[in-house]
């Protein structure tokens, strides 16, 4: 994978995380959580797409469909985990 492809992937994953934060709201900790989830989900989604040989919506060497789906799954999972953690701490 070339440096421009890595930079494109990093930029898109950052935009996904920041956009999700704008949509869901929250403080700086939530922003950090969503950025991390966006990056990790994007990378995992790309590699899972490559492993399963899904070649739909490729941008150079970047498996954009798998990476985007992976990022979306990770972002929603992070929101669910953060929300359930907040609810559990309120009950105590």
Please tell me the distance from the alpha carbon of residue 52 to that of residue 23, in angstroms, as a whole number.
31
Quote the domain boundaries for residue 36.
Answer: 3-91
Percent of the chain with pLDDT over 70: 95
The answer, yes or no, to whether residue 8 has pLDDT greater than 90, is: yes
State how many domains the chain has.
1
Neighbours of 8 (CB within 10 A): 16
Mean pLDDT (the chain, rounded): 92
* pLDDT band with cut points at 50, 70 and 90 for residue 83: confident
């Amino acid at each position: 994978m070339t440096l421009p492809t890595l930079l494109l992937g990093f930029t898109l994953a950052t935009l996904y995380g920041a956009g999700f934060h704008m949509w869901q709201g929250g403080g700086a900790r939530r922003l950090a959580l969503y950025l991390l989830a966006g990056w990790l989900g994007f990378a995992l989604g790309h590699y899972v797409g490559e492993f399963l040989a899904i070649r739909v919506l490729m941008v150079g060497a970047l498996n954009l469909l798998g990476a985007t789906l992976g990022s979306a799954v990770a972002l929603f999972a992070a929101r669910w985990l953060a929300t359930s953690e907040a609810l559990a701490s309120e009950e105590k």
